[in-house]
Each structure stands twice: as structure tokens, then as C-alpha cells.
Amino acid sequence: MKAKRRLGQNFLVDSSYQERIIRAVNPRADETIIEIGPGHGALTEHLVDSGARVIAIELDHELILPLRAAFATRDHFSIIQADALEVDFAALIEPAATARVVANLPYYISTPIMQRLIEARTAITEMTVMLQREVVECITAAPGGKEYGFISVLVQYACEAESLFDVPPGAFRPAPKVWSSVLRLTRRAAPVAEVRDETMLIELAKVLFSQRRKTIFNNLRSGYTRLNLPDVEAIHAALSQAGLDPQRRAETLTLTEMAALTNALTQ
Ligand code: SAM
């Protein structure tokens, strides 16, 4: 079967990296694990062997039948054909209340899938995911540099992020053009800074980073209708309340400052 590029199908064929990922996850028999995009089952096999209850989500219907056949005798394995961007994770894992996620993610949906997983974090305590190395560098970046952006804010607000190791293109078939990294995200007991409205934080981060070389004031002026602000005066008022210089750039804002601005915009 030919790999489908449009579905991000780069299968992890190097068993040493498969084993490293599984060692990092350390699956246990008493837990539920969601695997997104099992593909040919490179990681699935090891997850199922641990005795954990494994729920796989695969979009490609051509891969579902072989996976069902391969795991037919394993009663703690199930698979659904679905788009992981549409799945209700809390409902999927019932009767369990929480699960961990393991995935060699399709890179074409990295940001939306991370957003979905973060939004579902009452049900998801930890994620070990493989992503493009550049994306992992952005997710784990500290404020102040060019890697720090929307996805850093989205993820770090909710999770502790740890880059575990890099994986070369040659570990996959077909080989991608870029290196990958394995990332562990652990849900924070409480967010770094409390915000009244998380949706506003996410929208604000999108607006502030929409043109990263612009000042935060200029980005807010271009995007103020997206934030339901009545006029430019409201931008000045919110920036002043949050104690932020309008001439700063988004990449210099800490999560605490981003949260202060979110709260100033959601009185
Ligand atoms: N886990 C396998 C491995 O490590 O070899 C496959 C990883 S491959 C990078 C990504 C997998 O995600 C493919 O099997 C692909 O069909 C599947 N996929 C792509 N888009 C998806 C989506 N929206 N929802 C669920 N699975 C998806």
C-alpha cells in the first residue's frame, strides 16, 4: 500500500526509535492510552503488549482492517475510524476518566491537533508525541526569541513541555525532509497564570503573533474586532491596565503578561 502524503504518512520503521518512545511512555496495565494515527501499528504493538487499554484513532480506512485483524485477539485494544480533530476524547475513554496520549502525529495538522488535545486536557493527563523538530523547538521556546510564538503560549500555559530526543529522517518510510523530535507534555495542576477566559487567551495570542515583527499595539489594532473590542481606546485601556508598553513585540511577553492582558480584555 502506497503511503499517503496528504495524510502525513511517514511510518516509523526503525525499531530502536520505536522502543525509545515506548520506554519514554512506560505504559502500564492499569491505564488507558489513546494512540492517534497508529498507521501500520509500529507503536501500537508495544502499547498493547504492556496490557494497557489502548484506543486507536485512525483516519485512513485502508489501514483500519489490517490493524483490526492484527489485534483481533487482544480484547483491551479498540480502534475507531475518525479524524482526531473531531473526536470527543472524554467520551471516547469512558468509563475511564483520564488517559495518556501517544502519537507519531501527522505533521500537516500539528497545531490544530495540539490545540484540540490541550482543550481536552481534563481527560488527558500526558501526551508523548512526535512532531517536526522545528515545531518542538517552538513549543518549548522561552519568551524573547524567534521560536517563541502562538503554539508556545498555547501549550506552555496548560502543560509542562519537555523535548526528549530527536529522530532522523532515515528512521521513517518514506523519509520526511525534516528531523523529528519526541515531546512530552504533562498537564499542569494549575495554569501558569489564571485567566478568566481561555478562549480569549488563545484568540489574543493568535492576534498578537499574526505579524510578529509588528508591535503588540499594531497587531491589536489590526485584530481588534476578533477580540470583540469596540475601538482603539479599548486597546489603550487594556494595555495600560496590564502594565504593558504598546511598542513591545509579542515574542517578549511572558505567559503572566499575556494572561494579564487577557484579563484586562475580559472584564
Ligand atoms: N504511528 C505510525 C508510525 O509511527 O509509524 C504512523 C504515523 S504517521 C506519521 C501518521 C498517521 O496518522 C498515519 O497513519 C495517518 O493515516 C494518520 N492520520 C492522518 N491524519 C489523521 C487524522 N486527522 N486523524 C487520525 N489519524 C490521522
> Which amino acid residue places its CA nearest to atom 8 of ligand 1?
9
**Does residue 101 line the site of ligand 1, with CB under 6 A?**
no
**Does residue 14 line the site of ligand 1, with CB under 6 A?**
no
DSSP codes joined into one string, 20-86: HHHHHH---TTSEEEEE--TTTTTHHHHHHTT-EEEEEE--HHHHHHHHHHTTT-TTEEEEE--TTT
For strands 53-58 and 159-167, give the pairing.
unpaired
Residues 144-148 have a mean pLDDT of 94
Residues 49-74 have a mean pLDDT of 96
Q: What is the pLDDT of residue 26?
A: 98
Domain 5-187 in CATH 2.40.128.20? The answer is: no
Domain with CATH 1.10.8.100 in the chain: 198-265
Give the SS3 label for residue 255: helix
Q: What is the pTM of this model?
A: 0.94
pLDDT band at 21 (very low <50, low <70, confident <90, very high): very high
CA of 258 to the centre of ligand 1 (A): 33
Residues 130-134 have a mean pLDDT of 97
For the domain 198-265, what is the CATH code? 1.10.8.100
Q: What is the pLDDT of residue 192?
A: 87
Q: What is the pLDDT of residue 131?
A: 97
Q: What is the pLDDT of residue 246?
A: 97
Contact 47, 111 (CB under 8 A): no
Q: Which has the closest alpha carbon to 193: 142, 259, 253? A: 259
Q: What is the pLDDT of residue 201?
A: 95
CA of 209 to the centre of ligand 1 (A): 29
Cis peptide before 174 (omega within 30 of 0): yes
Say which amino acid occupies 197: D
Domain with CATH 3.40.50.150 in the chain: 5-187
pLDDT band at 100 (very low <50, low <70, confident <90, very high): very high
pLDDT band at 44 (very low <50, low <70, confident <90, very high): very high
Q: What is the pLDDT of residue 64?
A: 96
Which atom of ligand 1 is nearest to 39's Cα?
A: 14
**Does residue 109 line the site of ligand 1, with CB under 6 A?**
yes
Q: Within 13 Å of residue 71, how many CA atoms lie on the same side as its CB? A: 27
**Does residue 60 line the site of ligand 1, with CB under 6 A?**
yes
Most trustworthy range by pLDDT among 106-110, 159-163, 188-192: 159-163
Contact 183, 129 (CB under 8 A): yes
**Does residue 41 line the site of ligand 1, with CB under 6 A?**
no
Residues 13-29 have a mean pLDDT of 98
Cα–Cα distances in angstroms (integers) from residue 250 to residues 150, 212, 257, in the given order = 9, 7, 10
Question: What mean pLDDT, rounded, does the chain reach?
Answer: 95
CA of 63 to the centre of ligand 1 (A): 10
Cell of 63: 489501514
Rounded to an integer, what distance in angstroms lies between the CA atom of residue 242 and that of residue 227?
Answer: 16
| Phi-psi region at 199: left, alpha or beta (left = phi > 0; alpha = psi -120 to 50) | alpha
**Does residue 43 line the site of ligand 1, with CB under 6 A?**
yes
Residue 155 has pLDDT above 90, yes or no: yes
Residues 239-253 have a mean pLDDT of 97
pLDDT tens digits, residue range 167-200? 999 999 999 999 999 999 999 999 889 999 999 9
pLDDT tens digits, residue range 28-42? 999 999 999 999 999
> Which amino acid residue places its CA nearest to atom 19 of ligand 1?
7
Cα–Cα distances in angstroms (integers) from residue 236 to residues 99, 192, 228, 251, in the given order = 43, 25, 14, 19
User: Crossing angle of helices 198-208/255-265, nearest 10°?
Assistant: 110
pLDDT band at 66 (very low <50, low <70, confident <90, very high): very high
Contact 162, 225 (CB under 8 A): no
Residues 198-212 have a mean pLDDT of 95
Residues 145-167 have a mean pLDDT of 96
For strands 124-132 and 99-104, give the pairing.
parallel
Residue 249 has pLDDT above 80, yes or no: yes
Number of residues in the chain: 267
| Phi-psi region at 196: left, alpha or beta (left = phi > 0; alpha = psi -120 to 50) | alpha
